[in-house]
Amino acid sequence: MERIPRKAQVDVLKYMQVFPAVAILGSRQCGKSTLVQMMAEKWPNFMYVDLQSYQQRMQLTDPALFFEHNAERTICLDEVQLMPELFGYLRGEIDRDRRKGRFLLLGSASRELMQHTTESLAGRIGMIDLSPFLVEEICGRDDYNQNKYWLRGGYPDSYLAEDDEASSIWRENFIRTYIERDIPQMGFAIAAPKMMRLLMMLCHEHGGILNVSKLASAMDLSAPTIRHYIDILEASYIVRTLPPYFKNIRKRLVKTPRIYLRDSGLLHQVLGIRGFNDLLGHPVVGFSWEGMVVENVCASVKEASFYFYRSSDGSEEMDLVIETPRERIAIECKSNGEPQLTKGFWRAIDTLEADRAYVVCPIKGSYPLSDKVTVISLTELMSVLS
């Protein structure tokens, strides 16, 4: 499989010069191991240990002795969440020798899910989230095709598959393995059919307001149970909830988050969308485009908070609001090349007091609509926001 440079490489190198340990966190198969192995080719004394391998895990039967014996190496521990007992040993080893960049820890769980294990490394570890391919990581390639990226999503094995059928087969296996193996490995005893049914229902709600009570009623489960299941999906990088924006606005507003599947390819797989023509004819097409834009922005833009905005009567709405210490940016997503904007869009810009706004469409280039508003492609948007 071809290896593509990742944007996160810069952050990994920077963090390795600051912290004794660096954790790279992201969903399974998003490219963590490949990223590190590409970078490790330039590092002397690099050691990679895959904790999913029984033979390699046995090297750590006596962690203190293992770390002492390999003290001069940069040690990468892949799928570190499978051995949470290591964190206590890591703390002692780092306190003994606080040399920068000694350990790389790769995990398929978020910092929230790993909090109980990483607390012992507070001040000793830097954390970096890694998403599947972002559009800015692949748009410069000769073989880049936006429709392919939209249909297949950003997981490397899915995007780089030989054809759409091979990509679909890979995604089907990924979903099944995630539900049947990965969730139990994280310590959650949840029946696979229930989680699969919830995932299907969330795909049908993709881009909509999260209604936990409705989901609980449909699945004959309690609302706290549904909330717990969604927390697991979010903590393992499968779904993203986007909070509402309601700061200093004297209007009745929606105050419940929106929910998205983070990868468009997984969304399409669960919904049975196998080809791009199928996507174009599916009711989810607009929300699918919106989710892809939201994920690329939220995973790329640093030092920012992200929201959506909607008045309770629906008269004003904005798909994404980016707030930084310097400015407020409004983003609307339209899945056609000739966007029709409502009065509610223009009112939302005024209410939000946005410094600038973009309408993101599947087009090439960009063009202005007003002093503040630009119609723009996803690739140019990411370039502008970088």
Question: What is the set of domains in the chain, with CATH numbers?
Answer: 9-129 (3.40.50.300), 135-385 (1.10.10.10)
Distances in Å between the Cα of 109 and the Cα atoms of 18, 28, 82, 233, 340 are 23, 9, 10, 10, 40
Rounded Cα distance between 309 and 348, Å, is: 8
Rounded Cα distance between 3 and 7, Å, is: 13
Contacts of 115 (CB under 8 A, 6+ apart): none
CA 141 to chain centroid, in Å, comes to: 22
Cα torsion 145, 149, 154, 159 to 10°: value is -70
- pLDDT score recorded for residue 252: 61
User: What is the residue-averaged pLDDT of the chain?
Assistant: 92
Please give the model's pTM, rounded to 2 decimal places.
0.93
Selected residue with higher pLDDT from 255 and 208: 208
Question: How many helices (DSSP H) and strands (DSSP E) are in the chain?
Answer: 19, 13
Is the pLDDT score of 250 beyond 80?
A: no
- pLDDT score recorded for residue 123: 84
Most confident range (mean pLDDT) of 180-189, 241-250, 251-260, 376-385 is 376-385
pLDDT tens sequence across 84-138:
888 889 999 999 999 999 999 998 876 665 665 567 788 889 999 999 999 999 9
CA 24 to chain centroid, in Å, comes to: 13
pLDDT bin (cut points 50, 70, 90) of residue 312 is: confident
